[in-house]
Structure 1
Amino acid sequence: MRAIELFAGAGGLGMGVSLAGFKPELVVEWDRWCCDTLRQNRKLEKSVIRSWPEPIEGDVRRVDFKSFEGKLDLVTGGPPCQPFSIGGRHMAYDDHRDMWPEAVRAVRETRPRAFIFENVKGLTRASFATYLGYILLQLQYPSLARQVDESWRDHQDRLQRHHTSGGRIEYRVVHQLVNAANYGVPQKRERVVFVGFAEGIDANWCFPRETHSLDALLYDQFKTGTYWDRLKLAVKDRVINPSLESRAGRLRERPDELAWRTVRDALEGLPDPEHDKSASAKILNHRFQAGARSYVGHTGSSLDEPAKTLKAGVHGVPGGENMLRRADDSVRYFTIRESARLQTFPDNFVLHGAWSEAMRQLGNAVPVTLAEVVARSVRDHLRAHAPFTGNA
């Protein structure tokens, strides 16, 4: 099934989409380090992105999508999130980095059967509610483009009038705030995901049901002890969160979901980069990074919970709080490889650039597993409810 990938970054969303059975015909990314990462991984024999086209390195505003009109099953992408990020300046529509208009333009010019876009949790903040509504209206009616001298608020008013007057909906759109940990990602990472299906396709679709839960993990840790037994962990090596232990005490039976995956689960099999440097040097992107320290608001990720959200770096701190916290409360930075595992990237995936640059790429990425779960559901719906283009 044919797709195009916008704002590709290091490839997290695109890899998940490819694993779900879509083949990108076009990949666009402006950042040269990300493009170098994509180019290098395209050359690897067993790479997930080996069949990807050479990425277009440049401004998406200069890309003409009209040649793909009516030929695509899917358009995907993560418009730059800085305008809405909690760590950013919150300028939204006044931020020149807001690329939602380009995502909508790609849909307008290609007319895909479906699209998947994602963005940061900050987009759901009350202060952005009006702009979120504006994004949804544009995605529902992409052909009603903003005119040259039209303000975004005037455009929004026109879209609302069209909507309330019974105008034909071009895409049926749903959006949802999802936590990647609830889908088997060893990281508590919340993203807003937008999925739309073209008019004429049965829109009887909903987001995939969550498969993992915190309570299932707590039951395995504090009720049965199977988590500790599986990992052969002595009491002194366990990282216990008192508030979660208290919550576990209120559980009466084990939930049906699988247990949340923890940092310790994700790092299984990797040598300690700080104390076993010789073994770590043999593993791709697994070098110790010195300088980690704990302070108020930056205490690291517990080994026995999913990691906190990996960050791309804020306030001049490369990698933000991308640290693990041991049972003795000591901390160290995650290596690039460990961070890649927390984002469910393949172990053979090469991140281009120094530690801070690679961490920036990973901190901006979508977990591959989360992307694959959503894309597989969209793929199955397209196959079941409408003829598809290209090969299955």
Structure 2
Amino acid sequence: MAELQEGSKKDRTGVELFAGAGGLAMAVHRAGFRPLLFNEFAKRACETLEANGAQRLPDGQKPTRAPESDEKVPLVAGDVQELDMDYLAGEVDVLAGGPPCQPFSLGGVAKGDEDKRNMFPQMFKAVRQIQPKAVICENVRGLLRPSFRRYFDYIQRELELPFEERVDGTDWEQHYEYLLERREKELDDPGKRYDTVMMPVNAADYGVPQIRNRVIIVAFRRDLNADLELFKDLVRPTHSETALFRSMEDGSYWERHANVPDHVREWVMARLPKTMPMDDGLLPWHTLRDAIVGIGDNKPLPEVPDEWLDRTEHFLGGFTEHVGWPGARIYDGHTPNELDRPAKTVKAGVHGVPGGESVMLLDELVTDKAAQGGVRYKYRYMTVRETARVMTFPDTWELKGPRGEKMRQLGNAVPVALGEVFAKAVAAVLDEAEERQK
């Protein structure tokens, strides 16, 4: 695929750590940053990056120079802790990455700083080595939990003062207190200090057809005197649940989906708020049905017939990875995806987490004596391609590995549309700051 080989429209550069399936990397590239380096540890994710244009370096080989604009992006597959990026010092506009989130996720063991999978220190190491103009870091909303709140503030202070390294033998609490004192003093070199912005976000508010609550931290090198208020203005939400409800009430949503059966429409409409919220001037949230029918230039995905729920690639409508999977179940106390809502959060796993995270209700009613009224909506597992659309990956993006690995890569990824909003805002703020300094 050519996604990672297209020429950048702006003469800006980026580095992507914890690149995964390439969601944030693609978003940063689309915002005009030419990628200079990818790093990823997971075998299948590395294969995905290779399939989409990255050039994997032989094991043990380290890059020594930035690639030219007509060269493929070098991919270093392996432990980020062994990566040396000193050769990129002064050449990088944006460093981006989503350090592994398991230490802080609700689904993980929640050990936080004590967890060896915490890779935030490696982001700070990279900042010290290359001194990028800006940093984009995405992670789970679990960082905002009360038990992690103090540590999360510590992470932000470390990003603010990355060159103030923790002294051996001290714990993070001691270093945190030191950073709080140090940040009150001006540094001799403002290029070694960063101004940070932290934003809790729901991807659905930015046009992603999925409820996905995350935290994004963006930092700008202080010597650039970046306009943080401009950045915040550029990343305001563009879509809302209120607008979705109002589009259903006024019929514009149903005009786009004219083939929806009356009983489905009636079921959806019956659950709208009795008192419709005031118009907020935003665009409607995109729904799972929107994603399947096609957002933007995407063409509709065909339905998967029962006889093709067989783990076999039938190339339905010419789409790859649109593969039916048998055995879908809905568990008591859990809910499946509904077509006329944004999808539930895509989670890393074979079928998501048991309980319907990757199961979707269809428009067809079937007889079920155990169901209320004796009928229920038919359901099945979402295909990998449908899940990729929910993550706003293009249909041309190729995922490698068995189904479970593909779903895991998608669950760990940053939705491309969400990342693109923030990356474009970073580019605009850098443009404005550099123009002002002329």
TM-score normalised by L of structure 1: 0.91
- The alignment status of 1:352 with 2:406, answered yes or no, reads no
- Which residues of 2 match residues 299-314 of structure 1 at below 5 A? 299-313=335-349
How far off is 1:116 after superposition?
0.4
One-letter identity of the residue aligned with 2:216? V
Separation in structure 2 between the aligned mates of residue 78 and residue 203 of structure 1, nearest angstrom: 23
How far off is 1:191 after superposition?
1.1
- Matched with 1:203 is 226
The counterpart of 1:225, out of the listed 251, 255, 266, is 251
Contact 1:4 1:74 in 2 (8 A): yes
How far off is 1:315 after superposition?
11
Unaligned runs of 5+ in 1: 45-49
The counterpart of 2:286, out of the listed 232, 236, 261, is 261
Contact 2:36 2:73 in 1 (8 A): yes
- Matched with 1:3 is 14
Superposition RMSD in Å? 2.5
Separation in structure 2 between the aligned mates of residue 330 and residue 316 of structure 1, nearest angstrom: 19
- The alignment status of 1:174 with 2:197, answered yes or no, reads yes
- Matched with 2:262 is 235
Identity %: 41
How far off is 1:132 after superposition?
0.3
One-letter identity of the residue aligned with 1:359? M
Match of 2:224, SS?
coil
Instruction: Check 1:320–1:124 CA distance in 2 against 1; reply closer, same or farther (3 A cut).
Output: farther
Contact 1:239 1:302 in 2 (8 A): no
- Larger RCO (CA within 8 A; separation ≥ 6): 1
Contact 2:95 2:132 in 1 (8 A): yes
Match of 1:127, SS?
coil
How far off is 1:237 after superposition?
3.2
Instruction: Check 1:174–1:43 CA distance in 2 against 1; reply closer, same or farther (3 A cut).
Output: closer
One-letter identity of the residue aligned with 1:182? D
Separation in structure 1 between the aligned mates of residue 430 and residue 247 of structure 2, nearest angstrom: 38
- Matched with 1:107 is 127
Separation in structure 1 between the aligned mates of residue 95 and residue 355 of structure 2, nearest angstrom: 30
One-letter identity of the residue aligned with 1:271? P
Contact 2:17 2:40 in 1 (8 A): yes
Separation in structure 2 between the aligned mates of residue 282 and residue 384 of structure 1, nearest angstrom: 44
How far off is 1:380 after superposition?
0.9
Q: Which deviations, in whole Å up to 9, do the C-alpha atoms of 1:57-107 show, x marking residues without a partner?
A: 000000011111121111000000000011000000010000000001111
How far off is 1:298 after superposition?
3.0
One-letter identity of the residue aligned with 1:83? P
Which entry has the higher C-alpha Rg, 1 or 2? 2
The counterpart of 1:154, out of the listed 160, 170, 174, is 174
How far off is 1:108 after superposition?
1.2
How far off is 1:240 after superposition?
3.8
Contact 2:133 2:221 in 1 (8 A): yes
Instruction: Check 1:281–1:234 CA distance in 2 against 1; reply closer, same or farther (3 A cut).
Output: closer
Separation in structure 2 between the aligned mates of residue 287 and residue 225 of structure 1, nearest angstrom: 32
Instruction: Check 1:379–1:190 CA distance in 2 against 1; reply closer, same or farther (3 A cut).
Output: same
Unaligned runs of 5+ in 2: 1-11, 56-69, 294-299, 309-313, 366-376
Instruction: Check 1:320–1:138 CA distance in 2 against 1; reply closer, same or farther (3 A cut).
Output: farther
Separation in structure 2 between the aligned mates of residue 323 and residue 52 of structure 1, nearest angstrom: 38
How far off is 1:149 after superposition?
2.4
Q: Which deviations, in whole Å up to 9, do the C-alpha atoms of 1:104-146 show, x marking residues without a partner?
A: 1111111111110000011111110111011011000000011
How far off is 1:255 after superposition?
3.1
- Which residues of 2 match residues 1-392 of structure 1 at below 5 A? 1-42=12-53, 52-165=72-185, 170-205=193-228, 206-207=231-232, 208-222=235-249, 224-232=250-258, 233-238=260-265, 240-241=267-268, 244-245=271-272, 247=273, 249-251=274-276, 253-268=278-293, 269-275=300-306, 277=308, 278=314, 280=316, 282-313=318-349, 321-327=357-363, 328=365, 329-386=377-434
Separation in structure 2 between the aligned mates of residue 174 and residue 43 of structure 1, nearest angstrom: 31
Match of 1:38, SS?
helix
How far off is 1:283 after superposition?
1.7
Match of 2:340, SS?
coil
Separation in structure 2 between the aligned mates of residue 216 and residue 195 of structure 1, nearest angstrom: 28
Instruction: Check 1:26–1:318 CA distance in 2 against 1; reply closer, same or farther (3 A cut).
Output: farther
Contact 1:6 1:29 in 2 (8 A): yes
Instruction: Check 1:319–1:362 CA distance in 2 against 1; reply closer, same or farther (3 A cut).
Output: farther
How far off is 1:333 after superposition?
1.0
Q: Which deviations, in whole Å up to 9, do the C-alpha atoms of 1:339-385 show, x marking residues without a partner?
A: 00000001011111111110000000000000011100100110111
Separation in structure 2 between the aligned mates of residue 331 and residue 141 of structure 1, nearest angstrom: 51
Separation in structure 1 between the aligned mates of residue 269 and residue 248 of structure 2, nearest angstrom: 12
One-letter identity of the residue aligned with 1:264? R
Contact 2:96 2:137 in 1 (8 A): yes
How far off is 1:202 after superposition?
2.5
Match of 1:55, SS?
strand
Separation in structure 1 between the aligned mates of residue 263 and residue 108 of structure 2, nearest angstrom: 39
- Matched with 2:370 is none
